[in-house]
Amino acid sequence: MKQSTAANSHWLAALLSSLLLLNLLHLIGADEAFSCPNGWELRGLNCYKYFNIKHSWDKSAELCRRYGAELVAIDSYAENNETLAIARASDPNQRASDKYWLGLASLDDLRTNTLESASGALISQYSGYWSLHQPNAESGECVAAAFAGKSQSWDLGTCESLLPFMCRAQACPQGSLHCANGKCINQAFKCDGSDDCGDGTDELDCPAQCHYHMQSGGDVIETPNYPHKYGALSKCKWTLEGPLGSNIILQFQDFETEKTFDTVQILVGGRTEDKSVSLATLSGKQDLTTQPFVSASNFMIVKFTTDGSVERKGFRATWKTEAKNCGGTLKATLQRQILTRKKSSSSIRIFVIALTFIRYS
């Protein structure tokens, strides 16, 4: 009986909280009560961003999670219309595509009439807004939204197809800091020396602690006091972020540290260290003017750590972004073909891959 009373109390508290929130939104409007990260669009209690770059369904879901979001799994008629408006505004002439990935995929070839969202939730296929003759399990497993017509409809397609995609994240209350993992924390916790986000986002851009977050290619990064000696026990970090679909190229103009003990580590892969891998660790006096360091993603982290003795002048470097040139359409033929990687300003070597297509009888 006590457990039942406690459960009812929790249910009533949740209901009252929801009613108070709805009343607040009615009085002041969602735009005044909530906010989204830069470049994201606020609709209701969620933030949306449409990406014109094309990826497979799995890669699109992975990229959304990098921003603390998920591939959008539409759950209402109103949201279907909202996402249609966002997609049309982002690509009004459908230059990239007239479809984009949704965060839904079929289960068991629809034998159980079930879809699974990118976050793992299960929903009925009958809640979808399907095109004529859809859902058709023979067309593929992943759901794309088609927005060329007057309304937005859904199609099943091959998950390896390359399409634009849309991410959805929870909005944060005004005055909050948006963490890269999707959490919201009070702005007052930023740069307090404690990892309140849980992924280091709140300690990312703190100049007083020698932590910098840069999003403008062409910027210069250099050690404190350069070209004079840096201080002992320095711990500096530069997080470089370019547009999604680009690489980052780091080029040193000058480099001199105490060999072995004062190091520069270059990490690539994600916005935070736990999502990155080490590309290089450098120290000593080196001529790196002809050796660019290139990331495979739109993130790069540069860490500078020194010990308590023997200081040098440090380093000076510049960075820029470059659009990825990989991708395209391959057509299978019966003849042997050669696929050559395009040469770019950041290329160090050219890869040649021989492709042989075999027809099976």
Provide the sign of the torsion angle of the four alpha carbons 257, 259, 260, 266, taken in this order. Answer: positive
Residue 38 DSSP class: T
Give domain 25-170's CATH superfamily: Mannose-Binding Protein A, subunit A (3.10.100.10)
User: What CATH number does the domain located at 204-323 have?
Assistant: 2.60.120.290
- Say if residue 88's pLDDT is above 90: yes
In a 13 Å sphere around the CA of 91, the CA atoms on its Cβ side amount to 23
- Say if residue 14's pLDDT is above 60: no
The pLDDT of residue 330 is 57
**Which residues lie below 8 Å from residue 217, measured CB to CB, with a gap of 6+?**
242, 248, 319, 320, 321
Q: How confident is the model at residue 334 (pLDDT cuts 50, 70, 90)?
A: low
Query: For the chain, how big is the Rg over CA atoms in Å?
Result: 25
Mean pLDDT score, 249-274: 95
Contact 304, 223 (CB under 8 A): yes
The pLDDT of residue 66 is 87
For the stretch 302-327, pLDDT in tens is: 999 999 999 999 999 999 999 876 55
The structure's pTM equals 0.75
Contact 251, 316 (CB under 8 A): no
- Say if residue 347's pLDDT is above 80: no
Q: How confident is the model at residue 328 (pLDDT cuts 50, 70, 90)?
A: low
- Say if residue 153's pLDDT is above 80: yes
Contact 54, 96 (CB under 8 A): yes
Q: Would you call 206 exposed, middle or buried from its count of C-beta atoms within 10 A (0-12, 13-18, 19+)?
A: middle
Mean pLDDT score, 329-356: 48
Phi and psi at 33, nearest 5°, equal -95, -25
The pLDDT of residue 228 is 97
Instruction: Look at residues 220, 181, 217, 221 and name the one whose alpha carbon lies nearest to residue 202.
Output: 181
For the stretch 61-71, pLDDT in tens is: 999 998 899 99
Sequence ranges of the domains in the chain: 25-170, 204-323
Contact 311, 230 (CB under 8 A): yes
Q: Please report which helix (H) or strand (E) contains residue 323, including its range.
A: strand 314-323
